[in-house]
Every structure is written in structure tokens, then in C-alpha cells.
Amino acid sequence: MSTILPQPSLTLTHPPNPKPHLLLSTLLTSSSSTPTPTPTLSQLKQIHAQILRTGLLQQSPSLLTKLLLCSSSLDYSLSLLRQFPNTQLCNKILRHLSRSPHPEKTLLFYGGLRRKGVVLLDSFSFPPILKACARVSAFGEGREIHGLTVKMGFDSDPFLQTGLVGVYAGCGRVWDARFLFDRMSVRDVVTWSVMLDGYSRAGLHDDTLLLFEEMKSSDVSPDVVVLATVLSACGRSGNLNSGKSIHRYISDTNFVSDSHLHISLITMYASCGSMDVAHHLFDKMPSKNIIASTALISGYSKVGKIKIARSIFDQILEKDLVCWSAMIAGYAESDSPNEAIKLFKEMQNSGIRPDQVTMLSVISACGHLGALDQAKWIHIFVDKNGFGDILSINNAMIDMYSKCGSLDNARLVFDEMTKRNVISWTSMIIGLAMYGEGRLALRVFDQMKRERIEPNEVTFVGVLYACSHAGLVDEGRWIFASMIKEHQIAPMHEHYGCMVDLLGRANCLEEAAELIERMPFEPNIVVWGSLLGACRVHGNVGLGELAAKRLLKIDPDHDGAYVLLSNIYAKANRWGDVGEVRRLMKERGITKERGCSWIELDGEIHEFFMGDESHPKADEIYEKLNEVVDELKVVGYAPNSGSVLVDLEEEEKREAVLLHSEKLALALGLLNGGKGPCIRIVKNLRVCEDCHSFMKWVSKVFEREIVVRDRTRFHHYRNGLCSCKDFW
């Protein structure tokens, strides 16, 4: 039989000397402070009873305030106020709740006050309620309070007006906030700060800077909070000139000694890529603040100086979550995805729990790496650690699985999502497009529209991309036309690039050129690059030369343009022109991006370059590759030397194409087992014609499934055929 233990009561016995009200006050204070636990409702009622019995309330009215602030029960607080109605006391509770870690309790308490008519609210009651609305983005409640304050005649109160600006801005209704702001007769520095913060949070950085200029022209001087907000806007928009101007203003007005502003300046310069100034300011700090260090890590990562970023990271002894996340993101965004995942595992070992921002960087890194085993491990981690219901995480995992060569897993994540937005649908469409599943991508697009999810500009890029890689010319023309007619979306450079690519792949080169001529704005690198790539495929030298000329006029150092033009000349055996292109590249210091492939085996990533001999198993790899080539030649394979851009002897050309990085990765995959699992390879460049043919032969002769992800799409080789249907 279980025994119900009585709840421990508070012992109120004390020596005769201390005054009773001081003892109860001390007891309430200690009861509500850490590390002593918050008193239970039963304990508070005991104290309440003692106060009433001893008549202490008349001697010390503050005891009631302390009793109310200690209570975690809103109903109990409301019942106390009903017994002792006092507007000032009510306002104290509202302020206390609005500043607490749970501001939503402010709205619950306010709702109880309204329903039960406990006390009469005054103009001082509403600012803390509005503050809570802004903190929890409670737009409906904020708008209702706005109407109530107008009815009560408080709408001209500047504190209330500032609170309302904060609610509208905090709930994303920044233009409504500005409407109220412009009609205020009195605007203090807090009001300006709230409006500036609203613009900044909405990503309207230019508006933030314009409003700051207005503020400087007014009779209100900016404070540290305002200047930090404006510097953040400069950093996020990359507006270095405005950032420097604000730095001069700070120096002239003697704000520079403030540590908060010092860190904001470092963050601004680092975000704008001005690392010399950022590091100089950092060196002037008396103690190396972790926020400033993290800003430098992010800044150096963005400008590609990942080693310096890592050096700063390693010098931080007590790393927090933001610091770890910045370094992981730095690796993920600087083509070092493997290092990002390794660092994530180090972070786990250090006992730091990741947040949503960290996980998005890790998922992105895994997708870039194309490592399916790692992707599955991350998926398990997401589910076990409570991230599985976050929309942005699920969207990222669709993209991750698509890039790791598993459409089935991507579709599984998509199908199991309880809520989807336009990004979810777009990610699924782009995943299907990468595999050449054009018709399936169109079916998903139709389903999206049936579910009344309005496609955006990126969705149409994905759908046109799907048409392009599946040869769906008529469907692509119809979808391109429907952007304006049905969805009122004006095509941008990316959409024209997709259409030029679609028409070019289908050998409709004249139509593609005419489309470029009809563009309402100047064609960019993407558009001319799409036409140039199509000319390489179909050997159209004249149009290819025109496209290359236009592309190089926009970007004289574009290595891809030189390489594609060289390919066109090489295909036409115009070796003199190939040599001229190579001479121009050498004169201008332009080098072709080096081909690189990697393969994941037993959780480890192996990286190869062309002719690479650095792998520990290099001898075995080359021996296996030679065996494979010999077997393929028996059944009809002959190396295609068309992609070699040097006028070598034919035999030398054939030897050169056999050293491509994806072939070395494949040889290692074949060494790893017989008819085992699918071999998955990722390459940073477009797969060449010979490697494409080589993979098809291997899939048939060695009875292995091979998946290669190149720069633009996936190739799934099975039984001598490729999923792209040789249309890539």
C-alpha cells in the first residue's frame, strides 16, 4: 500500500526579536531566488495565511507584491488581485512577466484580467503587454490591444505608440510599423531604435540606413543600441562604405570606447570582407571576446582564408555553440565539407549540443560531399535529437539526399512531412531534375499547384531545369510562357539560361539565339554559357565563337569559356585555334579548374585528382584500372580522346583520358568488393564523354550499379545504360 507523504510546510518559528514582516519578506525573497527552489502553491498559501493572521499587510504592503511575484500560478495571482485590487500592483506583475523567459504568460495573465474584470487597466498597463506581443510575435493580440487603447483614449501616449511600433515590426508588418512611426508626434531614441531594428530584422537594410540618416537629421542622438543595429545592417548587406561612414561618426562622437560597439565594428568589417581592418580592431581589444573571435572566423571563411579562421578557432579555450557553428559553416561554405562533418563530431565529443543553425550547415556539408552513409547517420541524429519536426531541417534533408544520390530517401522525407512550404516542393522538383526524371518532376509540380502552393521564381528554375535535362522541349516552352500568363512572374536571367540550355541541347540553336536577342535585359554569363555549352555539344563553331566572345566581354577571366571554346576547336581539329586559346589563358594567368572526384567507402572519404598517385593503395588502383580497361576493350570499348585539348599523338590522348579522377575512384570502388553495393562517385566538373561511356561499359561487364554526380546532374549507370539517356 502506497503512502501519501504530506507536502513539506515552511517553518515560521523564529526567535522573538526579529520583526515578523522582515522575516516573511526574507522568506519570500529566498524562496524565489536561486539556488533555492521556487515555493510551491501550497507553501505560498501558508505564507499568505500568516500575513493575513498577523495583520502584516497594513504594516508592509510590499509583502503582497513579493507574494504575487513569487507565484507561478496565474489563477492564484488573479484571485489575490481580486481580493486586493490595485492597478499599480497589477502593472508590476505585467512588467515582471514581460521581462521573464516566458513572455507568453503576460498575455495569459492579461486575458485573465480582461475576462474577470479584476482591476482597471491604465496607460501604464499596456506597454509591457505590447512588449510581450512583440517577443512572441502575437500579431492578433497586438492588433486587438491597439484597438482597445484607441477606445480608451490612450492612443496618443508616446510609450504606447512605441510599443505598437514594436509589435507590428516584431510580427513582420514593417510597413504598418512605419505608418504608425511616421504619425508619432514625439519620438525618442527608443522609438527610433525599435523602428530601425524592425527594418533590420526584415532584411530591409537599405531602409535601415536611410532611416538612420533621417534620425541624424532629427533632434534625437543615436545611442549604442541604434549604432549596433545600423552596423549590423551594413554588414549583412555588404555595404562597406556606409559602415565606414558610421565608424567615422562613432569616432567623432566618442562612442568608440564602448566594448559592444567595438565588437559590432569588427563584425561589420568581417561581414564585408575587410579582414585587415577587422583584425586590427580585434588586436586592439584588451581581452579577446568570443563574439569578436567568432566574427573573424566567419569573415575569414567567407573570403576563402579557412586556415586563418581555423587558427583563430583553435586559440579559443572556451568555445560556445555560436563559435562551433561559425567554424562548421565556414568549412561547409568553402568547399571543405569533409572537415565540416569532422568538426561537427568533435563538437559532439566536447559536450556542446547543436542547434538548428548548426544542423543546417552540417546537412549542407553532407549534401555537398555526396556521402550517403554520412547522410543516413545525420538523418538518425536529426530524429534522435528533436530536429525532425523542423520544416527548414526537413527541406535541407530533401536536398541532402538528392545530392547524395538517393531519390528514394529524399522522397521518403518529403512524403513524411506534416507541413510543406514552397521550398519543400521546389527541393523535391530540383532533386528529380538532377536525375533526369523530367516527367516525374512535372507531375510533382502539378500536384503542388493542386494543393494551392504558389510556385516562386526558384520553383520555375527547377521545373525548366527538369525539362532541359529530359529533353522536354514543348513542355519547357509552355512552362516558360505560363510564368507570366498564369503566375505573373517575370523571367529572370536564370530562367532564360534554362530555356537557352533546353533549346541548345535539343539542337534548336537558332531558336536559342533568337530568344537571347529578345531578352528584355542584357544577357549574362549564365545565358551565354548555356549557348556556348550547346555549341560544344553540337559542334557549331561560328555560334560558339560568338557566345564565347560575348561571355568573355562580361568576364575576361572566365576559365569555363576558354575551356568550352577549346573543346569546340579541338572537336573540329582546329589545333592552331586551340593553341591560341591556351596562349591567351597563359598570358592572363587563367588556369582550368582541376578535376577532382571522391568516393565514400566504409564511412571514409577518398579524394582523387587526374593522374593521382598519392593514395596509399595507388599501385593496386592502377593495376585494377588496367585490368578493367583490358576487359572492356575485349567487348568493344575504345577510349574517346575528343576531350583532350592538346595536340598529342592519338595513343597519348587515349592514355590521358584513362587517368581521369572518376576512373581512379571507380577502380578503388571495384577493389572494395565484387557484386556488392552501388558505387557512388562525386565529381566537381562535368563528366566527359569518354568517362560517361566508360561507366556504362563497366556497369554492364562487371554487373555493378554506378552513380556519378557531376557538376550539373546525376548519372545512374545500370546494365550498360545511363539514366540521362545520353542527354547531358
Provide the pLDDT for residue 2. 36
Q: Does position 686 have pLDDT exceeding 90, yes or no?
A: no
Provide the pLDDT for residue 24. 47
Q: How far apart are CA 528 and CA 531, in angstroms?
A: 5
Q: Does position 658 have pLDDT exceeding 60, yes or no?
A: yes
CA-to-CA dists, residue 721 to 117, 133, 245, 498, 631, angstroms = 77, 60, 61, 26, 18
Tell me which of 113 and 531 has the higher pLDDT: 531
Confidence of residue 435 (pLDDT cuts 50, 70, 90): confident
Confidence of residue 103 (pLDDT cuts 50, 70, 90): confident
Tell me which of 33 and 288 has the higher pLDDT: 288
Cell of 34: 536561486
Provide the pLDDT for residue 34. 42
Chain-centre distance for alpha carbon 689? 35
Provide the pLDDT for residue 65. 61
Q: How far apart are CA 440 and CA 444, in angstroms?
A: 6
Please list the residues that pair with 716 across neighbouring strands: 707
- On whether the CB atoms of residues 211 and 205 are closer than 8 A, the answer is no
Buried b (16+ CB within 10 A) or exposed e, 62-101: ebbbbbbbbbeebebbbebbeeeebeebbbbbbbbbbeee
Q: Does position 33 have pLDDT exceeding 70, yes or no?
A: no
HEC-encoded secondary structure of 85-107 = CCHHHHHHHHHHHHCCCCCHHHH
Q: Which of 24-38, 346-360, 670-684 has the lowest mean pLDDT?
A: 24-38
Provide the pLDDT for residue 176. 92
Phi (first) and psi of residue 627, to 5 degrees: -60, -45
Confidence of residue 27 (pLDDT cuts 50, 70, 90): very low
Tell me which of 69 and 119 has the higher pLDDT: 119
Domain boundaries of the chain, sorted by first residue: 19-32+39-72, 87-186, 187-298, 492-592, 596-722
State the CATH architecture for 492-592.
Answer: Alpha Horseshoe (1.25)
- In a 10 Å sphere around its CB, with 0-12 CB exposed, 13-18 middle and 19+ buried, how is residue 36 labelled? exposed
Angle at 705 between CA 700 and CA 708, to 5 degrees: 110
Q: How far apart are CA 470 and CA 480, in angstroms?
A: 16
Order of strands across the sheet that contains 604-609: 604-609, 596-601, 679-683, 706-709, 714-718, 721-722
Q: How far apart are CA 385 and CA 353, in angstroms?
A: 9
Provide the pLDDT for residue 23. 43
Cell of 354: 547543436
Q: Does position 127 have pLDDT exceeding 70, yes or no?
A: yes
Provide the pLDDT for residue 36. 44
Position 539, amino acid: G
Q: Does position 304 have pLDDT exceeding 60, yes or no?
A: yes
Please list the residues that pair with 709 across neighbouring strands: 682, 714
Q: Does position 728 have pLDDT exceeding 70, yes or no?
A: no
Residues 6+ apart with CB under 8 A from 335: 368
Which DSSP string corresponds to 449-502? HHTT----HHHHHHHHHHHHHHT-HHHHHHHHHHHHHTT-----HHHHHHHHHH
Assign 3-state DSSP to the chain and report helix, strand, coil percentages, each to 5: 65, 5, 30
Percent of the chain past pLDDT 70, that is, above it, reads 84
- End-to-end CA gap in the chain: 76
Q: What is the pLDDT of residues 49-60, one digit of tens each?
A: 666 565 545 544
Tell me which of 205 and 590 has the higher pLDDT: 205
CA-to-CA dists, residue 597 to 368, 396, 434, 609, 687, angstroms = 12, 23, 18, 7, 10
Q: How far apart are CA 329 and CA 359, in angstroms?
A: 10
Q: What are all long-range contacts of 302-311, with beta carbons under 8 Å and residues at least 24 apart? A: 302/271, 302/273, 302/330, 302/333, 303/273, 303/275, 304/334, 305/275, 306/330, 306/331, 306/334, 306/336
Element (H, E) at 313: helix 306-315
Provide the pLDDT for residue 32. 42
Instruction: Assign 707 to helix, strand or coil.
Output: strand
Confidence of residue 80 (pLDDT cuts 50, 70, 90): low
Task: Please say whether the dihedral angle defined by the alpha carbons of residues 106, 109, 113 and 114, taken in this order, is positive or negative.
Answer: positive
Task: Please say whether the dihedral angle defined by the alpha carbons of residues 636, 641, 643 and 644, taken in this order, is positive or negative.
Answer: positive
Q: What is the pLDDT of residues 437-481, one digit of tens each?
A: 999 999 999 999 999 999 999 999 999 999 988 889 999 999 999
Provide the pLDDT for residue 648. 42
> Which of 593, 630, 110, 647 lies closest to 639 in space, CA to CA?
630
Q: Does position 340 have pLDDT exceeding 60, yes or no?
A: yes
Provide the pLDDT for residue 645. 44
> Which of 98, 99, 83, 45 lies closest to 67 in space, CA to CA?
45
What's the whole-number mean pLDDT along residues 129-136?
88
- On whether the CB atoms of residues 226 and 199 are closer than 8 A, the answer is no
Angle at 268 between CA 266 and CA 269, to 5 degrees: 70
Cell of 8: 513539506
Phi (first) and psi of residue 514, to 5 degrees: -65, -40
Q: Which of 73-87, 535-549, 632-646 has the highest mean pLDDT?
A: 535-549
**Average pLDDT along the chain:** 84
> Which of 59, 48, 108, 53 lies closest to 83 in space, CA to CA?
48
Provide the pLDDT for residue 563. 85
Provide the pLDDT for residue 725. 74
Q: How far apart are CA 676 and CA 702, in angstroms?
A: 11
Instruction: Assign 714 to helix, strand or coil.
Output: strand
Chain-centre distance for alpha carbon 310? 21
HEC-encoded secondary structure of 235-272 = HHHCCHHHHHHHHHHHHHCCCCCCHHHHHHHHHHHHHC
Provide the pLDDT for residue 123. 86
Unique residue bearing C-alpha cell 495565511: 49
Confidence of residue 4 (pLDDT cuts 50, 70, 90): very low
Q: Which of 20-29, 253-262, 276-285 has the lowest mean pLDDT?
A: 20-29
Confidence of residue 62 (pLDDT cuts 50, 70, 90): low
Provide the pLDDT for residue 503. 95
- Number of neighbouring beta carbons within 10 Å of residue 416: 9
Tell me which of 647 and 336 has the higher pLDDT: 336
Q: What is the pLDDT of residues 232-267, one digit of tens each?
A: 999 999 999 999 999 998 888 877 567 888 899 999
> Which of 686, 698, 690, 707 lies closest to 505 in space, CA to CA?
686
Provide the pLDDT for residue 135. 86
Q: What is the pLDDT of residues 560-616, one digit of tens each?
A: 888 888 888 887 888 888 888 888 888 888 887 888 998 988 878 899 998 889 999
